[in-house]
């Protein structure tokens, strides 16, 4: 296999086409020496922005992240292009959209020709490592590119419940071993993902009576195989209504998982400082996607729809010289890679779809971006009334979203039971996306223009040839509830 540096050079020479979806968006690299000698990327699975204190949660779920945000940069609106883990992480690590990197399903592998952030850091002489809790991965999925032997992925059946504190401890041990060497480190915490089962004292922090039933316990009670997936689908799409007390406790557990993860992140930050690396490291904290907690009658899941509860994620940047502020302009997780490339003066990537927001770290204005999003194919799809009993496996049949910089969002749903439809929301005035404006005359011109853009994107999408799922992969996905409707 060619070295990271050789592959990087080949890609840079070969990259001549504009990005498929975001024409002209490059990393905007500035010619200057980096201010930092270490970069830490923290991704938290299934973390919606509005359940953090710094994003106005009513619960004290995130004191450590709140402190990071208060002392650094918090982006008020950051979106993921596809609200699923594998696909979104590929976007974060490459700065590319799903249509470009071709990771369109949970079991797809990031192709070797795509250059990752880790490869760019490694080519520049940085030590690189990753510590990720991703139990449904039977292998690194191509995400180990650039990490060498220091890619720690917990996937063994005996370690499926690897917790955030374990990830933190392993990462700090690795940092200590680096001494003063420059490094790039990626941590992925999975704790807020279902099943929500925080340890004490977080289990009872937001529910003083935590021993009753939750959504997870009701779904799993006495059900196996297809029956379990059927019950999951019935709950997920609101066919089977949950008691109010069960919903309340389930959300409390979700918030408890966030609080536990926040504690682990706080311990990592303190450990980094204790090791003398807190003054030369830039930290970026984000999430792969959010979670629907009943909005639009979609319960405790993500991936199928393009509402903000699943698309909007936190984005916090902290480090020496970073001016504390809140950035209102809209950005995406695909902007993280080009920003780090810019900050550390790495080799730029012409194939990136994202744009650098590095200027914002020193107080300069950045331009809000129009972003595109797509849904996953549905999973327990037969219970989903929006698709009329037909599972759209071709990406051209997926939901498409255009998220304008003025906070209006157009969603094209090509495959519901009663025919294609459009939804338009003004997220700034209607954050719950409850008032569909698509048929209002004052928005008619924008709806027509934007829907034509989404149609052109779908028409240019060459899709993918579904990879065969090997038995080990299938077992892992089934055990984690990912193959309903197969």
What DSSP letter does each residue of 434-462 carry, written as one string? ----TT-GGGHHHHHHHHHHHHHHHHH--
User: Is residue 449 domain-shared with residue 313, that is, in the same domain?
Assistant: no
User: Is residue 267 domain-shared with residue 388, that is, in the same domain?
Assistant: no
Q: Residue 193: is its pLDDT beyond 90?
A: yes
Assign residue 470 the CATH number of its domain: 3.30.1120
If you average pLDDT over every residue of the chain, what do you get? Answer: 84
Q: What is the DSSP letter of 165?
A: H
Q: What is the DSSP letter of 199?
A: P
Does residue 25 belong to any structural domain of this protein? no
Measured in residues, the chain has a length of 486
Q: Residue 168: is its pLDDT beyond 50?
A: yes
User: Is residue 337 domain-shared with residue 400, that is, in the same domain?
Assistant: no
C-beta of residue 352 within 8 angstroms of C-beta of residue 109: no
Does residue 274 belong to any structural domain of this protein? yes
Q: How far is CA 203 from the centre of its chain?
A: 24
Q: Which residues contact 14 (CB under 8 A, 6 or more apart)?
A: none
User: Of 346, 371, 396, which closes a domain?
Assistant: 371
User: Is residue 299 domain-shared with residue 195, that is, in the same domain?
Assistant: yes
User: Is residue 150 domain-shared with residue 260, that is, in the same domain?
Assistant: yes
Give the residue from 14, 62, 78 showing the smallest Cα distance to 334: 78
**Digit-coded pLDDT (tens) for 323-338:** 999 999 999 999 999 9
Preceding omega of 387 cis (within 30 degrees of 0)? no
Assign residue 353 the CATH number of its domain: 3.40.720.10
Does residue 21 belong to any structural domain of this protein? no
User: Is residue 155 domain-shared with residue 240, that is, in the same domain?
Assistant: yes
Q: Between 146 and 468, whose confidence is greater?
A: 146
User: Of 303, 337, 371, which closes a domain?
Assistant: 371
pLDDT of 416 reads 67
| Helix, strand, coil abundance in the chain, percent, nearest 5 | 35, 15, 50
C-beta of residue 43 within 8 angstroms of C-beta of residue 287: yes
Does residue 256 belong to any structural domain of this protein? yes
Most confident of 388-397, 431-440, 444-453: 431-440
Most confident of 109-113, 128-132, 157-161, 372-376: 128-132
Of 226-230, 261-265, 462-466, the poorest mean pLDDT is in 462-466
What is the torsional sign of CA 30, 36, 37, 39?
A: negative
Of 259-263, 313-317, 443-447, the poorest mean pLDDT is in 443-447
pLDDT of 380 reads 63
User: Is residue 323 domain-shared with residue 387, that is, in the same domain?
Assistant: no
Does residue 67 belong to any structural domain of this protein? yes
Q: Residue 301: is its pLDDT beyond 50?
A: yes
pLDDT of 34 reads 57
Residues 34-54, mean pLDDT to the nearest whole number: 93
**Digit-coded pLDDT (tens) for 362-387:** 899 999 889 999 998 766 667 877 66
- What share of the chain has pLDDT > 90, as a percent? 62
User: Is residue 392 domain-shared with residue 349, that is, in the same domain?
Assistant: no
Q: Residue 393: is its pLDDT beyond 50?
A: yes
Give the residue from 255, 278, 280 showing the smallest Cα distance to 267: 278
Beta-bridge partner residues of 281: 38
User: Is residue 161 domain-shared with residue 220, that is, in the same domain?
Assistant: yes
pLDDT of 351 reads 83
User: Is residue 311 domain-shared with residue 434, that is, in the same domain?
Assistant: no
Q: Residue 10: is its pLDDT beyond 80?
A: no
Of 18-32, 173-187, 453-467, the poorest mean pLDDT is in 18-32
Does residue 20 belong to any structural domain of this protein? no
Query: pLDDT class for 417, splitting at 50, 70, 90?
Result: low
Which residue is it, tokens 């089962």?
197
User: Of 371, 394, 416, which closes a domain?
Assistant: 371
Token pair for residue 484? Answer: 């309903």
Most confident of 10-19, 32-41, 431-440: 431-440
Q: Between 369 and 476, whose confidence is greater?
A: 369
Q: Residue 310: is its pLDDT beyond 70?
A: yes
Residues 111-119, mean pLDDT to the nearest whole number: 93
Q: Between 483 and 51, whose confidence is greater?
A: 51
Total domains in the chain come to: 2
What is the torsional sign of CA 332, 72, 69, 279?
A: positive
Q: Residue 173: is its pLDDT beyond 90?
A: yes
Query: pLDDT class for 413, splitting at 50, 70, 90?
Result: confident
pLDDT of 56 reads 95
Which residue is it, tokens 């005996």?
158
Q: What is the pTM of this model?
A: 0.88
What DSSP letter does each residue of 240-273 carry, written as one string? SPPPHHHHHHHHHHHHHHHHHHHHHHHHHHHHHH
Owning domain of residue 41:
4-14+36-371
d(CA 361, CA 74): 10
pLDDT of 257 reads 98
User: Is residue 159 domain-shared with residue 91, that is, in the same domain?
Assistant: yes
d(CA 52, CA 49): 6
Does residue 22 belong to any structural domain of this protein? no
Does residue 95 belong to any structural domain of this protein? yes
pLDDT of 308 reads 98
pLDDT of 486 reads 32
d(CA 168, CA 268): 6
Query: pLDDT class for 303, splitting at 50, 70, 90?
Result: very high
What DSSP letter does each residue of 59-77 carry, written as one string? S---HHHHHHHHHSEEES-
Token pair for residue 380? Answer: 């327990």
d(CA 461, CA 444): 26
d(CA 366, CA 247): 40
Q: Which residues contact 173 (CB under 8 A, 6 or more apart)?
A: none
Beta-bridge partner residues of 127: 183
Token pair for residue 154? Answer: 């917990």
pLDDT of 90 reads 95
User: Is residue 317 domain-shared with residue 457, that is, in the same domain?
Assistant: no
């Amino acid at each position: 296999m060619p070295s990271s540096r050789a592959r990087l050079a080949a890609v840079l020479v070969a990259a001549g086409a504009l990005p498929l979806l975001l024409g002209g968006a490059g990393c905007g690299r500035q010619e200057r020496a980096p201010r930092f000698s270490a970069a830490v990327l923290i991704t938290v699975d299934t973390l919606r922005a509005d359940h953090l204190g710094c994003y106005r949660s009513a619960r004290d779920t995130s004191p450590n992240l709140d402190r990071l945000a208060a002392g650094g940069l918090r982006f008020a609106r950051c979106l993921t292009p596809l609200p699923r883990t594998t696909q979104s992480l590929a976007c974060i690590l490459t700065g590319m959209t799903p249509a470009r990197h071709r990771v369109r399903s949970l079991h797809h592998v990031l192709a070797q020709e795509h250059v990752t952030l880790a490869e760019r850091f490694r080519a520049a002489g940085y030590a690189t490592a990753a510590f990720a809790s991703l139990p449904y991965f039977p292998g690194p999925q191509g995400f180990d590119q650039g990490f060498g032997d220091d890619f720690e992925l917990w996937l063994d059946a005996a370690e499926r419940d690897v917790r955030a504190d374990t990830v933190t401890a392993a990462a700090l041990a690795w940092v200590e071993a680096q001494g003063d060497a420059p490094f790039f480190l990626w941590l992925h915490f999975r704790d807020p993902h279902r099943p929500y089962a925080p340890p004490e004292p977080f289990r009872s922090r937001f529910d003083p009576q935590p021993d009753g039933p939750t959504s997870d316990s009701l779904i799993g009670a006495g059900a196996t195989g297809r029956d379990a997936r059927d019950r999951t689908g019935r709950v997920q799409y609101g066919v089977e209504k949950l008691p109010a007390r069960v919903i309340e406790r389930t959300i409390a557990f979700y918030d408890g998982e966030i609080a536990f993860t926040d504690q682990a992140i706080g311990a990592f930050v303190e450990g980094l400082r204790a090791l003398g690396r807190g003054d030369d490291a830039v930290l970026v904290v984000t999430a792969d996607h959010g979670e629907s907690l009943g909005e639009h009658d979609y319960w405790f899941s993500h991936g199928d729809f393009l509402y903000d509860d699943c698309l909007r994620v936190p984005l916090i940047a902290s480090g020496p010289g970073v001016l504390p502020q809140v950035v209102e302009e809209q950005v995406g997780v695909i902007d993280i890679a080009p920003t780090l490339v810019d900050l550390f003066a790495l080799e730029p990537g012409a194939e990136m779809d994202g744009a650098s927001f590095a200027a914002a770290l020193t107080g300069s204005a950045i331009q809000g971006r129009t972003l595109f999003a797509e849904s996953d194919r549905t999973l327990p799809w037969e219970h989903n009334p929006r698709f009329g009993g037909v599972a759209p496996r071709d990406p051209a049949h997926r939901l498409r979203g255009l998220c304008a910089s003025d906070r209006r969002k157009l969603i094209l749903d090509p495959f519901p039971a009663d025919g294609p439809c459009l939804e338009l929301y003004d997220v700034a005035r209607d954050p719950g996306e409850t008032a569909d404006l698509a048929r209002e005359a004052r928005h008619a011109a924008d709806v027509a223009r934007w829907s034509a853009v989404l149609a052109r994107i779908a028409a240019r999408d060459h899709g993918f040839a579904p990879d065969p799922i090997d038995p080990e992969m299938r077992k892992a996905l089934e055990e984690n509830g990912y193959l309903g409707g197969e």
